[in-house]
Structures are given as structure tokens and as C-alpha cells.
Amino acid sequence: MTSPLDRPAELSSPIPIQVLLALFGCFLVLLEGAFAQWQVFFVAAPLLVLAYVFYMNLFFSNQLSIIAAFLIGLFSELMFFETLGMNATALALVALITRWRSPILIHSDFLEIWSAFSLIVLFFSSFKMTIYLLAYLSLPAISDIFLQAGMTILLFPIFYVLLVSAASAGQFILRTRMDGRIK
């Protein structure tokens, strides 16, 4: 009689990978908070989670669900005491828009992807400003929002390269593991 601990984990199901990717999104929320503590990024911590949700829904739309993007946004709001539902709804909308545009963007060059991401950042920021305006009947510090959006857009190529490298490494590991199991 064998125990469940003696058998290897079943990786043919997409659910463990989806949970792992959602947890990585929550880790990026914490990393954003850590960047906000640095003097350089004090007001303008780059929106790493936004870049992550954009990238995942562009190239791996079946791996990071819209519900996972919503939950990552809720985690972000709870961690940083923001208006409940604002980031979550904005990230879910970003996931929907990116999935809608992915058939066109997936075959584009990097400059088109970067410009599409720039538009997504502007949409995200304007959506948050609109919700803030409706909730508090005043405008937030617009210069801080533009600084954060600009920092996110400028640092996107670096984060994009890191995500492409991580995706390539992950696919290599899974392919190697599957080849070893087949033999």
C-alpha cells in the first residue's frame, strides 16, 4: 500500500499552475509595496501587477483567469488600504481588454506591444481617477498619478524581458519534466 506522499504531483491539470501564477501576482503586489519604500519610487512605484496581468493575458490567457486578476487587485487593496474594488475592477477590465486585443497583439513587434501597454496604463490610471472622483468628489494628486504611470511605462521593457525569460524557463522545465515522464 502506497501513501499519497509517495506519488509525484499531478501536473497535467492546469489548476496548480493557475494557482501558482495567481500567488506570484500576489507576490508582485508585495514587491510593489517594497519598491514604494525606496526613495526613488516613493510616489511612483511601478505597477508591476498591471504589467504582469497584461503579459499573462496577452500570451497565456488560459493560465491567469479574470477572477484571479480580480483577486490580485483585492489583495492589493487590502495590503495598501485603498478603496475596496477600485484596483480589482480595473485589473479585471485590463484582463478583458487585453484578451480582446491579444489576437492582434500576439503577432506584433515589441513597439506595438509597448504602445498597447502604455494605453492600458493610461486607461488604468484614468479609471482609478474617475472612481476616486466619484467616491470623494475631489481629484487626487494628478502629478503623482502621471509620475507613476510614466515610471510604469518606462520600466515595462525591463519587466517584459524578465517575464519572457521566466516564461521560457518555466516552459522548458515543464517540457523536460513531461519528456522524462513519457520515456
pLDDT tens per residue, range 46-76: 999 999 999 999 999 888 999 999 999 999 9
In terms of Cα–Cα distance, which of 141, 59, 126, 140 is closest to 93?
126
- SS (HEC) of 65-129: CHHHHHHHHHHHHHHHCCCCCHHHHHHHHHHHHHHHHHHHHCCCCHHHHHHHHHHHHHHHHHHHH
Please give the pLDDT value at position 10.
Answer: 60
pLDDT tens per residue, range 102-127: 999 999 999 999 999 999 999 999 99
**Is residue 130 pLDDT above 70, yes or no?**
yes
CA dihedral 169, 167, 162, 156 (to 10 degrees): 170
**Is residue 7 pLDDT above 90, yes or no?**
no
Cell 509597448 belongs to which residue? Answer: 114
Could you tell me the pLDDT band of residue 88, with boundaries at 50, 70 and 90?
Answer: very high
